[in-house]
Amino acid sequence: MKYQVDSGQIFITLARGDFINKSLEAVAVKEKLTSGWVHGLGAIDYCELGLYAFENQSYIKKEFLDEYELVNLTGNITLKDGNPFIHSHITIADRQFSAMGGHLFDGKISAAGEFVIVPGNIQITRKFDQNIGLALWCLGEKNA
Amino acid sequence: MKYQVDSGQIFITLARGDFINKSLEAVAVKEKLTSGWVHGLGAIDYCELGLYAFENQSYIKKEFLDEYELVNLTGNITLKDGNPFIHSHITIADRQFSAMGGHLFDGKISAAGEFVIVPGNIQITRKFDQNIGLALWCLGEKNA
Amino acid sequence: MKYQVDSGQIFITLARGDFINKSLEAVAVKEKLTSGWVHGLGAIDYCELGLYAFENQSYIKKEFLDEYELVNLTGNITLKDGNPFIHSHITIADRQFSAMGGHLFDGKISAAGEFVIVPGNIQITRKFDQNIGLALWCLGEKNA
C-alpha cells in the first residue's frame, strides 16, 4: 500500500493481497485523521459482507471467495474509542456482472485497488446507541 | 437529523425514521446551497425507486419495503424553480446481498444514515428539456 | 457535453448520445488534469463492462444494449503514456431494478448524465505491472 497526500485529498493505491479497511485505517492513523470521506474501486478475491438486521441488532454475514470487480466503495472515517475507524459499504460484480453489496467487514485486493480519502477538519466521534445497536455519529452543531 | 459544516464538506447523520432526500434538501435549503455533490451510506427499511423509460418519458416505479443496506447514494444539489433540489440514485442490498438500484424518489433510514455534501460555489439550475422529458442541468461555460 | 469549472470541482453534464469515458477524458485533456476523482449518475442505453480475470490477465467483456439507470459511476483520472486517462467502474440497474456492474470500457447517455471531477494537484502516472497485467498507479511518497 502506498499513498500520497494532496491538498484536500489523499490518493491511495493498494496492492494484490492488501486488505481494504485495514489499509485505509492505517492511513487514517498515520495522518491523524478525525473525520473524512472515502471512495474507491478495484478488484478483489475475498470479502466479508454484512446486512444489519434491526430486529436482532446484529449483522447477517457472508464471505465471498471468488473474483469480483470492486465496483464502488463508499465509506467514512470517524473516531471510535479515540481511534480512527473506517465504516465502508461496497458494491461488487461477479463474472456474470451481477452486483452484490453490503457492509464491508473487510476485503482483499486481487489486482488494482484505487482509493481516495477526503479528510475533514472536524472531529466526528462514534458513540454506541442502545436503541439502534450500533455506534453512530455524534454531531451536535445544527438541526435542520 | 443533525449536520455539521466543515470547510468544503457538510457531514450529515440521519436517524431511524428520517427520509433521505427530504432531509438532505432541508440542509441544502438551510445552508443556501446552489450546487454540490452528495455521497452516502447506511441502512433503510423503505424506498421508492425509479427507472426512466425514455420511450414513454416517464419513470417505472417500485416500492421496496424490506430492510436493506444502503450500499451507496450518489447525488447532487442544483436549483429547480429557484429552490435547492436533490437528485439522487441509490444502490441497496438485501438479505441475500443481491444489489438493486435506481433513481431515488425517497427512502427511510432504519439504522445508520451517514452522508456528506460537497458544496459548490457556482449556481446550477435545472430547466425542463422537451426532448428528454426531464429537468436537466444548465451549464454554459465550456464545451469540450 | 458541457462543463463548468468551480473551485475544487468540475461539474459536467452529458447529453443524450454522449459517451461517458470519452467525454470525461476530453474534459481532463482540456483542463490539463494530472490526477483527480470522478463521480456520476444518469441513464444510459449502452455500455460495455468488464471483469478482470486475474488467471488470464484479461477482461471478460459484455455489452449491455437496453435502457439502464446509471446508479453510480466511480472513477479517477491519472496519466497514462503522458495523457489524461479515465479509469471508471459503474453500477447500473435494469427495469426490474436489478443491479449489475463492472469496469466501464464506455457507455452512452440516454437521458441525463451528471458528473463531477475533483481535480488533484499531484501527478499520478500509470505504469504497466507485469505481475498484475494492468497499468497501476505509481505513488511513491509514503508507505503505511
Average pLDDT of the segment spanning B34-53: 98
pLDDT greater than 60 at residue A41: yes
Average pLDDT of the segment spanning B33-37: 98
Average pLDDT of the segment spanning B56-69: 97
Residues of chain A in contact with residue C103, where contact means CB-CB under 8 angstroms, are 69
What pLDDT shows up at residue B129?
Answer: 96
Chain-wide mean pLDDT for chain A? 96
Closest CA to C79 of C33, C121, C12: C33
What pLDDT shows up at residue C144?
Answer: 52
What pLDDT shows up at residue C53?
Answer: 95
Contact between A116 and A38 (Cβ < 8 Å): yes
C60, C89, C139: residue with CB nearest A41: C89
What pLDDT shows up at residue A129?
Answer: 96
Please, what are the averages of pLDDT over each run of 10 residues along chain C (144 residues)? Answer: 96 98 98 98 98 96 98 98 97 98 98 97 96 93 55
Nearest-Cα distance to chain B for C38, in Å, is 11
ipTM at complex level: 0.96
Q: What is the enclosing helix (H) or strand (E) of C22? A: helix C20-30
Give the global pTM.
0.97
Q: Which domains are present in chain C?
A: 2-138 (3.30.1330.80)
Whether the CB of B131 is below 8 Å from some CB of chain C: the reply is yes
Nearest-Cα distance to chain A for B130, in Å, is 33
Locate B34 and state its grid cell. 446552489
- The verdict on a CB contact (< 8 Å) between C142 and A41 is no
Whether the CB of A126 is below 8 Å from some CB of chain B: the reply is no
What pLDDT shows up at residue A142?
Answer: 57
Contact between C37 and A9 (Cβ < 8 Å): yes
B87-129 pLDDT per residue, tens: 999 999 999 999 999 999 999 999 999 999 999 999 999 999 9
What pLDDT shows up at residue B140?
Answer: 67
Buried b (16+ CB within 10 A) or exposed e, C50-74: bbbbbeeeebbebebeebbbbbbbb
Locate C81 and state its grid cell. 503514456
pLDDT greater than 90 at residue B141: no
Chain-wide mean pLDDT for chain B? 96
Residues 33-52 of C with CB under 8 A from A: 35, 37, 39, 49-52
Average pLDDT of the segment spanning B130-139: 96
What pLDDT shows up at residue A141?
Answer: 59
Q: How many residues does chain B have?
A: 144
Non-local (6+) Cβ contacts of C82 within 8 A are: none
What pLDDT shows up at residue B35?
Answer: 98
Please report the beta strands in chain A, taking only residues with DSSP state E, as ranges in sequence order: 2-6, 9-14, 36-53, 58-64, 68-80, 83-93, 99-119, 125-129, 134-138, 142-143
- The runs of H, that is alpha helices, within chain A are 20-30
Contact between C83 and C136 (Cβ < 8 Å): no
What pLDDT shows up at residue B144?
Answer: 53
Q: State which amino acid sits at residue B14.
A: L
Whether the CB of B88 is below 8 Å from some CB of chain C: the reply is yes
A129-144 pLDDT per residue, tens: 999 999 999 986 555 5
Q: What is the enclosing helix (H) or strand (E) of B99? A: strand B99-119
Whether the CB of A32 is below 8 Å from some CB of chain C: the reply is no
A60, A122, A134: residue with CB nearest B111: A134
For chains B and C, CB pairs below 8 A equal 139
Average pLDDT of the segment spanning B5-14: 97
Task: Report residue B81: phi and psi, to 5°.
Answer: 50, 35
